[in-house]
Amino acid sequence: MTESDARPASGASGSCSYLRFLADVPSAGRSVVLQLRVRRFRCGNTKCPRQTFVEEISGLTRRHGQRTERLRSILTAVGLALAGRAGARLAAVLGMSISRSTVLRLVEALPEPEVPMPRVVGVDEYATRKGHRYGTVLVDVETRRPIDLLPDREASSLAAWLAQRPGIEIVCRDRTPFFAEGATAGAPQATQVADRWHLWHNLGEAAERAVARHRQCLRVLVPDPVAKAEEPAPPEEKADSPWRSERFADRVRARHATVHALLEAGHSRRSIGRRLQMTHRTVKSLADAAKPEDLFRGQWQHNRTSVLDEYKPYLDQRWDEGCTNAWKLWEEIVPLGYAAATAGSAPTCERSAPRHGRSPRSRRHPAW
């Protein structure tokens, strides 16, 4: 249709214009509505699918729009920042009444932004249903913005996505085998590196293994300032203590002395729990005990014996040497005459047996 084909439309009343009411940005907290008279035109071309059309004012109106362009842009910005419910609440405070669904529709109507070709891509997995369904998320590491989501975590899907973007130079991933295969097949020119979290995690595991191997070098410890506040137990009491339970007893005495010292200084039990990182139940038990010996129960009684007592020095030595596998330690003391091996305690150690070729690693000292 050309301009020569358009002519003012004349209805039954002979009118060639009509009124449009457009919501605009509020002024001084009050709603503003623009009353705009626009012209209606009729197409003179009989082959044109549109019989009538209405003029639009650039920068002010759009087809079938009930808001001005500047109000629409403000509501869209609110929706991008706060989404539906929160955006609708803020718009109502600002004098722009709108529903959460309309806010979301304004955001969805925005055109998809053009994503620049990434140079460094981060690859990781996400769960739509943990333990059952997983997908792949791809992130531009330099801008720290997500780029795309893949519906699965197969190597073929990642390889196809990378093959469409030959400008990728670095792929940052974890050590999952299917990510390694997909990156190798889809971006052979890219360098594959481990992400920061896995580097720190692997470093922590290596440091833990090194400390476990050299545990005997750490037997001389720096005196604990908390332990200095406690009074040493009488020698005759320590002489009757079991070989290993004395460490627990010393720790209980130190914590008991620290809690009572803070109570005498005027601290509340709640503040003591925050300061010493203890639960309310632990602080209460320490505070209610007149002396630390009241806290020793059952297994910490001095007159309690165990069939494992004669093997405890050997077990302690092997633990300090770095052997923390309970099943292996049990196998070593059986030839030494461990009587409980024939008394039915072997199934207890079987729970620590290696499964699928992996040895369990305990982070705590075993309670011999």
**How many other C-beta atoms are found inside a 10 Å radius of the C-beta of residue 338?**
19
Same-domain pairing of 274 and 338: no
Residue 164 covered by a domain? yes
* Residue-level pLDDT at 10: 52
Q: What are phi and psi of 65, to 5 degrees?
A: -80, 140
On whether residue 216 sits in a domain, the answer given is no
Residue 207 lies in a domain: no
pLDDT of residue 353: 39
| Domain stop point among 111, 133, 156 | 111
User: For residues 294, 299, 305 and 309, what is the CA-based torsion angle, rounded to 10 degrees?
Assistant: -120
- Distance between CA 196 and CA 185 in Å, rounded? 23
Q: Is 124 found in the same domain as 103?
A: no
What is the structure's pLDDT at 159?
A: 92
pLDDT digits (tens, 9 = 90+) for 320-348: 888 888 888 888 888 888 865 454 444 34
The answer to whether residues 292 and 252 touch, using CB atoms and an 8 Å cutoff, is yes
- Mean pLDDT of the residues in the chain: 78
Asked if 31 and 107 sit in the same domain, the reply is yes
Residues 14 and 99 in one domain: yes
For residues 294 and 354, state if they share a domain: no
**Are 1 and 96 members of one domain?**
yes
The C-alpha atoms of residue 352 and residue 362 are separated, in whole angstroms, by 10
Contact 191, 170 (CB under 8 A): yes
Is residue 89 one of the residues assigned to a domain? yes
| Cα three-residue angle 197-201-207, rounded to 5 degrees | 145
**What pLDDT was estimated at residue 233?**
47
Question: Final residue of a domain: which of 300, 332, 354?
Answer: 300
> CB 286: neighbour CB atoms within 10 A?
22
Q: What are phi and psi of 336, to 5 degrees?
A: -80, -5
Answer yes or no: do 284 and 319 share one domain.
no
pLDDT digits (tens, 9 = 90+) for 173-205: 888 888 999 999 999 999 999 888 888 988 998
Length of the chain: 368
CB 78 within 8 A of CB 102: no
Tokens at 304, concatenated: 């309690």
Specify if 202 maps to a domain: no
How many structural domains compose the chain?
Answer: 4
Residues 18 and 105 in one domain: yes
pLDDT digits (tens, 9 = 90+) for 227-253: 444 455 444 444 444 444 567 778 888
Buried b (16+ CB within 10 A) or exposed e, 150-171: beebebebbbebbeebeebebb
Contact status, residue 39 vs residue 52, Cβ threshold 8 Å: no
Between CA 134 and CA 69 the distance in angstroms is 41
Q: State whether residue 107 is helix, strand or coil.
A: helix
- H helix runs in the chain, sequence order: 69-93, 100-108, 155-163, 177-186, 196-213, 225-228, 235-239, 245-264, 269-276, 280-288, 312-320, 326-333, 346-350
Instruction: Please report the pLDDT score of residue 8 as a whole number.
Output: 55
333 and 290 both lie in a single domain: no
With respect to residue 311, please indicate whether it lies within any of the assigned structural domains: yes
Classified as helix, coil or strand, 3 is: helix
For residues 325 and 352, is the Cβ–Cβ distance under 8 A?
yes
Q: 207 CB contacts (<8 Å, ≥6 apart)?
A: none
Whole-angstrom CA distances from 175 to 48, 195, 202, 203 are 62, 9, 11, 14
Render pLDDT for 107-165 as a digit per residue (tens, 0 to 9): 998 888 787 888 999 999 999 888 888 999 999 998 888 889 999 989 999 999 999 99
Residues 74 and 26 in one domain: yes
Same domain for 140 and 91: no
CB 231 within 8 A of CB 257: yes
Average of per-residue pLDDT across 306-319: 84
Instruction: Report if residue 212 sits inside a domain.
Output: no
Same domain, 286 and 320: no
**177, part of any domain:** yes
> Which domain CATH number covers 170?
3.30.420.10
Instruction: Report pTM.
Output: 0.40
Domain that holds residue 10: 1-111
Identify the CA nearest to 163 among candidates 138, 193, 184: 184
Using only C-alpha atoms, what is the Rg of the chain? 37
